[in-house]
């Protein structure tokens, strides 16, 4: 994996601007198309918003690590947080065939992540949630 970009964010939604800037810098440094940069921002924004909004029921500052790297035609993103244990891959899959007013709330974000990324894996390591996202590029 080529040296990539990483940053530590605090569990505040205002930090999403820093994430967007870092994704843009990563995308430009690796020659990624504007469409792919947008997709990566969308996925990471969705995941970080959920971590920040739902992962920390108590007050206090927490740090969230985001790593980005490329190895040939493989992009890899790693998210690590000390939020309460949660495997987003265990979330129910939304019924996209149901009428909008009959659908269960939730699940669309991880559906989006699964649709855009080629591989997504979750593991709990000690007190840390780790989500690994991979995208194959041409």
One-letter-per-residue 3-state SS of the chain: CEEEEEEEEECCHHHHHHHHHHHHHHHHHCCCCHHHHHHHHHHHHHHHHHHHHHCCCCCCCCEEEEEEEEECCEEEEEEEECCCCCCHHHCCCCCCCCCHHHCCCCCHHHHHHHHHCCEEEEEEECCEEEEEEEEECC
pTM of the model: 0.86
What's the number of domains the chain is made of?
1
**Tokens matching residue 109:** 């974000």
| pLDDT number for residue 115 | 92
CATH classification at residue 79: 3.30.565.10
**121 pLDDT higher than 70:** yes
| pLDDT at residue 89, rounded to an integer | 82
What is the tens place of the pLDDT at every residue in 18-75? 999 999 999 999 999 999 999 999 999 999 999 999 999 887 899 999 999 999 999 9
- Identify which of 91, 92, 77, 87 has the alpha carbon closest to the alpha carbon of residue 122: 87
Give the pLDDT confidence of 80-116 residue by residue, as tens digits.
Answer: 999 999 998 886 665 545 555 554 554 457 888 999 9
Higher pLDDT, 103 or 125: 125
User: Which residues does 37 contact at the CB level (< 8 Å), separation at least 6?
Assistant: 23, 24, 27, 28
Output the pLDDT for position 29.
94
Which range of residues forms the domain containing residue 82? 2-136
The answer to whether 91 and 110 have CB atoms below 8 angstroms apart is: yes
């Amino acid at each position: 994996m080529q040296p990539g970009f990483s940053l530590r964010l605090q569990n505040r939604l205002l930090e999403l601007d820093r994430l967007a800037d870092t994704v843009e810098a990563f995308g430009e440094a690796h020659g990624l198309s504007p469409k792919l940069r947008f997709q990566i921002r969308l996925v990471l924004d969705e995941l970080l918003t959920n971590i920040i909004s739902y992962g920390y029921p108590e007050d206090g500052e927490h740090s969230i690590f985001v790593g980005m790297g490329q190895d040939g035609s493989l992009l890899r993103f790693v998210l690590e947080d000390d939020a309460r244990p949660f495997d987003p891959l265990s979330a129910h899959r939304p019924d996209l065939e149901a009428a909008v007013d009959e659908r269960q709330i939730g699940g669309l974000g991880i559906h989006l992540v699964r649709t855009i990324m080629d591989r997504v894996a979750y593991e709990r390591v000690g007190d840390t949630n780790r989500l690994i996202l991979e995208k194959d590029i041409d």
